[in-house]
């Protein structure tokens, strides 16, 4: 019976891939809804046409512990992004398009190579604008035996209809929750509706996969892992994010609370974000985290000052 299930799963994956691919002809794959025909080489905000740009693929040990595990996460970094974060620490990749145009066959081969190298999972980094391409390549890889769980590692600015195409295909969602208010999202990331879109996306992701589940070695097998980068001057709106998670999603939500912000890209020239987060700010964010009834996750070390 196993082979029958595999055939049925591949048929459904093919159907989802074809649906997503059609969306590219009048692109609504992400909340930007640029309505360009990417199948003819047109590009919208994400600056990506028919084929994806891949910056790198490798075993990555710097993700949250449940994702990296002890063998590493099989990360595939896509170039370009549908956000315009002025402080992006990976701006050569996300904002300047540092990557190589990659065929779907090559993308599938990358997945298989990472599996052979011992990766715990296949981790698509910045996948929002290339979901259609991922699904087509994933179909090719599954046909060749790829069996690893899929990690969808996004900014959290994802379209609901696109996420629904991933139901039953993505095992682990790892989105950001960057802002609790829209004003800083508009100012620093170029989107006026981040909060509404992000909260809808998080709710859908949790509906699909539930709270994070790990195996006996602490490696994630399924579920939602949320990352929250603390910005200086309270710009992240952390309290509102934690209250939303505790009240509307789950008090068992696994949150990676990050103190690693530093002023990159254009941030050194912008007063509000030209410095690191200080210890007092990060401690306050931690208090809000626990006050919201949350307790699960990974908290990076406090800043020294």
Tell me the domain boundaries of the chain.
2-299
In residues, how long is the chain?
305
Residues 6+ apart with CB under 8 A from 259: 230, 277, 282, 300, 301, 302, 303
- Which has more confidence, 150 or 63? 150
Please state, in angstroms and as integers, the Cα–Cα distance from residue 113 to each residue in 67, 116, 127, 173, 197, following that order: 18, 5, 19, 22, 34
Domain 2-299 has CATH 3.20.20.70: yes
Looking at residues 277-283, what average pLDDT do you find?
98
Task: Provide the mean pLDDT of the chain.
Answer: 96
Distance CA 270, CA 281 (A): 19
CA-to-CA dists, residue 155 to 4, 85, 241, 252, 304, angstroms: 36, 10, 14, 21, 27
Give the residue carrying structure tokens 């002025």: 86
For residues 213 and 218, what is the distance between their CA atoms, to the nearest angstrom?
A: 9
With pLDDT > 70 as the criterion, what percentage of the chain qualifies? 97
pLDDT at 300: 96
Low-confidence winner among 7-16, 37-46, 199-208, 280-289 (lowest mean pLDDT):
7-16
Instruction: Please tell me whether the overall predicted TM-score, pTM, comes out greater than 0.95 for this model.
Output: yes
Q: Which 8-state DSSP code applies to residue 278?
A: P
Under the banding of pLDDT at 50, 70 and 90, the label for residue 1 is: very low
């Amino acid at each position: 019976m196993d082979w029958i299930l595999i055939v049925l799963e591949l048929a459904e994956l093919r159907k989802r891939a074809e649906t997503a691919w059609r969306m590219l002809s009048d692109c609504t794959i992400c909340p930007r809804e640029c309505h360009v025909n990417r199948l003819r080489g047109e590009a919208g905000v994400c600056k990506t046409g028919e084929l994806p740009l891949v910056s790198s693929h490798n075993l990555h040990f710097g993700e949250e512990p449940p994702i990296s595990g002890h063998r590493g996460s099989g990360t595939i970094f896509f170039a370009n992004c549908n956000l315009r974060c002025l402080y992006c620490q990976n701006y050569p990749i996300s904002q300047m398009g540092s990557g190589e145009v990659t065929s779907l066959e090559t993308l599938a081969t990358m997945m298989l190579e990472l599996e052979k190298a011992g990766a715990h999972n296949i981790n698509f980094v910045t996948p929002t604008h290339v979901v259609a391409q991922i699904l087509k390549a994933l179909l090719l890889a599954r046909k060749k035996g790829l069996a690893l769980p899929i990690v969808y590692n996004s900014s959290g600015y994802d379209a609901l209809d696109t996420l629904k195409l991933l139901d039953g295909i993505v095992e682990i969602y790892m989105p950001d929750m960057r802002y609790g208010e829209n004003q800083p999202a508009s100012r620093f990331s170029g989107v006026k509706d981040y909060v509404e879109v992000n909260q809808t996306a998080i709710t859908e992701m949790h509906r699909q996969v539930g709270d994070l589940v790990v195996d006996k070695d602490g490696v994630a097998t399924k579920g939602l892992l949320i990352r929250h980068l603390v910005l200086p001057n309270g710009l992240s709106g952390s309290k509102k994010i934690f209250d939303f998670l505790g009240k509307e999603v789950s008090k068992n939500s696994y949150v990676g609370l990050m103190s690693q912000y530093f002023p990159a890209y254009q941030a050194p020239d912008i007063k509000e974000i030209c410095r690191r987060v200080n210890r007092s700010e990060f401690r306050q964010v931690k208090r809000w985290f626990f006050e919201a009834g949350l307790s699960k996750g990974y908290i990076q070390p406090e800043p020294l000052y």
